Structure 1
Amino acid sequence: MIFLTSLENILPIILIIALGYFLQVRGWFSDQFSGNISKLIMNVGLPASIFVSVLKYLNRSMLVGLSSGLLYVFGAFVISYVFAFIMIAILRVPAGRRGVFVNMVVNANTIFIGLPLNIALFGNEALPYFLIYYIANTVSTWTVGVYLITADSKEGKKAGAKFDWKKLLPPPLVGFLIALMFLFLDIPVPTFAINTLTYIGNIVTPMSLLYIGIVLARAGFKSIRVDKDTIGALAGRYIVAPLVMLAILSIAGGNLPANEFKTFIVQSAAPALAVLPILADQGDGDREYATNLVTISTVLFVVVIPVVLTLLG
């Protein structure tokens, strides 16, 4: 019964993703359309949504409680990195795939899948908890994650390992920081501005889900390949990472609000980063392997999340 209820909760998400997939297959969208959606969500919709949600659902006293959640998430990330390297050694993952493998295990697609799912399941009230995970995921991805990918090439040579500091302040995070400034300084925001930003922010969830469907249609299911490295990475994403998060929260975070606890677990079980193939290509890694992981993990997520929600009760 709980499984069916969980499935019912994500059915609208599945249907909107399917709509994006169907429309892309029918040729409704140009090659530039998905890229334009991505820019619109990341640079306009999401910062607006986050700004409004922070001012609506956060206060100064709550920020102290949220700081402990950030420590739990970072702790889970560190442990997940350790497990990922152990899995690489056991599976003997070849050069060019190692950085991708680690990122698959540790870093999740919090924006285009994690965010709309979280809002659909727990409402905007849980958005501050999502932001905590998003901050940790962003820092992890654009520092350690990118470094590991650029340091790992198919020929076994380092491709000038580096990370882009600018990526640590993407527009959604800037929106969060500006909102915190307004919150701390108690700066009033005119009603018309809040209403305008709310309308703009409301595009995030449906457009994100359409984007996922478009990406799946373009990737194509015929390109899917399954080998030991793929199975290992999927196990890390959907078994190791959520279990590590569950262990951390069960041991240290017993007093967390229910929505915060569930948000962290659900986000830890989100699919692979949408930008993983791009990062692999820039770092001279195995782009096909990265694309394969993104496609399979996104498809499997439809099955995984009802199971996770059922276990969470």
Structure 2
Amino acid sequence: MDVTLGCVGQGELRGRGGDPGRGFPPRFVPGGENMAGEFLHAVSAVFMIFCLMAVGCGLGAMGWIGKAEKRFIARFVVNIAVPMNCIVGVLNHLNREGLMEMRSMFLVPICCILLSLFISMVAAMLLKLPDNRRGVFVSMAFLSNTMFIGLPISTQLFGEISVPYVMLYYAGSTIFTQTVSVILVERSGTGREEERDLLSFGKGILTKPPILGVIAAFLLLTTGIRPPEMAMRFAGYLSDTVSPLALMYCGYVVYELGFRNVKFERGIPAMLIIRLLLAPLICALLCRGFGVDGLARRVFITEAALPVVSQITVMAGEYGADEQYAAAGSVLSTIGIFVTIPILMLIVR
């Protein structure tokens, strides 16, 4: 199933968010480059991401970003910029035929996350990790940072046309982050988990602004309603802030965690292998099995190969698990993508 057939052509794009010549990321054209060219494209994309993260790290060292600014950036990106990015990306780069094809694709991220979870739990048992690290290890290994790193890196590699597929993976990842991951980290800290009912869980997922943005975008696409051009341009301007702000936020998080906390303690190498190597391999096999090809395959594999979810470190500190262990995993996995992503782009070309 070549999902790029269901996407809007370059000549049909409308609004600022859909103009390939404007905005933050360059548009990626599959098959338009040789192997060396694609490798250089991936290296330059990763280098751009590294530079933006370095800005965030530098601003933290200079004292320009603190806890208040960090909170503002996170809230602005998640609650305002990302929902606008969803609407612009879906309406400018997808049509109804492509939407119908995407329904079956949702099985790929779900199955990939489930298999990664199983492998991570087996690895934690074999490594005989202490109680305050076991749940943290599993959470770091089976979930990827699809929002603050996944969205910028995919748009940088493939262009804004990749946004619908990123949001599909993000939806699956969010479900597991808010359920399985929270329970695992809680058990590593307090030894028990809080009681949750199905209603509060559903409300917690469906009221998240990025999920609301996805729902709104797909509803507009399904009904054939397109907002006025001025509204689309307004959304496009807000959408363009996602990549630089999200990456500067990640850079500040690396600065905040500190390189002094980075140690290859027991379990960290295994976590990196699962997170950066096995997860994308599983995703590639699932894409082949489900017949997912083209741009969707590339995006899904990229999303599966991303660093640890930054929220894991926060949860570890909140529930009394090993926060330093989570911080080390987060920093090392973030550094690791600067090596793995360019190589991965050659493998999945």
Q: Distance in 2 between matches of 1:137 and 1:159?
A: 20
Identify the match of residue 306 of structure 2 among 270, 274, 277: 270
CA gap 1:267/1:26 in 2 versus in 1, 3 angstroms: same
Q: Distance in 1 between matches of 2:160 and 2:92?
A: 9
The one-letter amino acid of 1:160's match is E
Structure 1 partner of 2:142 = 106
Q: Distance in 1 between matches of 2:195 and 2:301?
A: 31
* Cα RMSD (Å): 1.8
Instruction: Give the 3-state SS of the residue equivalent to 2:48 in structure 1.
Output: helix
Matched, 1:244 2:282: yes
Structure 2 partner of 1:80 = 116
Q: Distance in 2 between matches of 1:80 and 1:286?
A: 22
Matched, 1:214 2:248: no
The one-letter amino acid of 1:11's match is F
The one-letter amino acid of 1:205's match is S
Structure 2 partner of 1:282 = 318
Q: Distance in 2 between matches of 1:145 and 1:248?
A: 22
Residue deviations 1:95-137 (CA, integer Å, cap 9, x gap):
1212211111211111110100000000111111111111111
2:136/2:312 contact within 8 Å kept:
yes
Structure 1 partner of 2:341 = 305
Structure 1 runs not aligned, ≥5 long: none
The one-letter amino acid of 2:137's match is F
Matched, 1:158 2:192: yes
Instruction: Give the 3-state SS of the residue equivalent to 1:152 in structure 2.
Output: helix
Q: Distance in 2 between matches of 1:162 and 1:273?
A: 22
Instruction: Give the 3-state SS of the residue equivalent to 1:32 in structure 2.
Output: helix
Residue deviations 1:177-218 (CA, integer Å, cap 9, x gap):
112222222223111111111111111011111111111112
Matched, 1:31 2:70: no
Q: Distance in 2 between matches of 1:49 and 1:9?
A: 19
Matched, 1:64 2:84: no
Matched, 1:184 2:218: no
1:113/1:270 contact within 8 Å kept:
yes
Overall identity of the aligned pairs, in %: 28
Instruction: Give the 3-state SS of the residue equivalent to 1:151 in structure 2.
Output: helix
Q: Distance in 1 between matches of 2:243 and 2:87?
A: 15
Structure 2 partner of 1:135 = 171
CA gap 1:86/1:67 in 2 versus in 1, 3 angstroms: same
Normalised to the residue count of structure 2, the TM-score between the two structures is 0.84
The alpha-carbon deviation at position 57 of structure 1 amounts to 1.7
The one-letter amino acid of 2:192's match is K
Normalised to the residue count of structure 1, the TM-score between the two structures is 0.93
Q: Distance in 1 between matches of 2:314 and 2:66?
A: 20
Per mean C-alpha deviation after superposition, the further-off stretch among 23-32 and 41-50 is: 23-32
Instruction: Give the 3-state SS of the residue equivalent to 1:228 in structure 2.
Output: coil
Q: Distance in 2 between matches of 1:252 and 1:56?
A: 26
Q: Distance in 2 between matches of 1:31 and 1:81?
A: 32
CA gap 1:84/1:11 in 2 versus in 1, 3 angstroms: same
Residue deviations 1:79-106 (CA, integer Å, cap 9, x gap):
1111111101111122121221111121
The one-letter amino acid of 2:284's match is L
The one-letter amino acid of 2:213's match is G
1:153/1:159 contact within 8 Å kept:
no
CA gap 1:161/1:217 in 2 versus in 1, 3 angstroms: same
Structure 1 partner of 2:5 = none
Residue deviations 1:260-297 (CA, integer Å, cap 9, x gap):
11101110000000111111223332111111111111
Per mean C-alpha deviation after superposition, the further-off stretch among 31-40 and 52-61 is: 52-61
Q: Distance in 2 between matches of 1:243 and 1:79?
A: 11
Structure 2 partner of 1:224 = 262
Structure 1 partner of 2:205 = 168
The alpha-carbon deviation at position 54 of structure 1 amounts to 1.4
Structure 2 partner of 1:294 = 330
CA gap 1:141/1:189 in 2 versus in 1, 3 angstroms: same
2:78/2:209 contact within 8 Å kept:
yes
CA gap 1:161/1:271 in 2 versus in 1, 3 angstroms: farther
1:159/1:284 contact within 8 Å kept:
no
